[in-house]
Amino acid sequence: MASEALFKARCSSCHSRATTLARAVKGNSTEAKLASLSKFLETHHVPDPQERQAIAAYLVGLSK
Ligand code: HEC
């Protein structure tokens, strides 16, 4: 599934705007953001590692 579609399917019921969420991701570099978001999502609705990576990359990409 494309990352944007994954976000809509898994996250948008509670987080209506991806861009708002993207700005809340902590970390002062792309790597730090990816790491903190991936870690967070392990216990926040995304148990699948591949989906986690796709969603994290999508959101961090939006925050640039
Ligand atoms: C069932 C509702 C629900 C779903 C589904 C959900 N979230 Fe959340 N999310 C929340 C709530 C409530 C909070 C704020 C409280 C907390 O930190 O747990 C939150 C917080 C967050 C935060 C921290 C934001 C901040 O302000 O620090 C991030 C990042 C996040 N969610 C990402 C996601 C992503 C990505 C998805 C999709 C995989 C997702 N969430 C799915 C309810 C949800």
* Pocket perturbation via mutation, ligand 1, pick of 4, 15, 16, 63 by most ligand atoms within 8 A of CB: 15
Distance (angstroms) between ligand 1 centre and the Cα of 41 equals 8
Asked whether the whole model's pTM tops 0.75, one would answer yes
Instruction: Examine the pLDDT at 54 and tell me if it is beyond 80.
Output: yes
Instruction: Examine the pLDDT at 1 and tell me if it is beyond 80.
Output: no
pLDDT digits (tens, 9 = 90+) for 7-44: 999 999 999 999 999 999 999 999 999 999 999 999 99
Residue 23, exposed/middle/buried by CB under 10 A (0-12, 13-18, 19+)? exposed
> What is the residue range of 31's domain?
3-62
- The domain tally of the chain equals 1
Q: Ligand 1 — pocket residues by CB below 6 A?
A: 10-11, 13-15, 21, 24-25, 37, 40-41, 44-46, 55, 59
33 closest CA partner among 48, 47, 23, 20: 23
Instruction: Examine the pLDDT at 64 and tell me if it is beyond 80.
Output: no
Query: For residue 29, what pLDDT is reported?
Result: 95
Query: For residue 63, what pLDDT is reported?
Result: 80
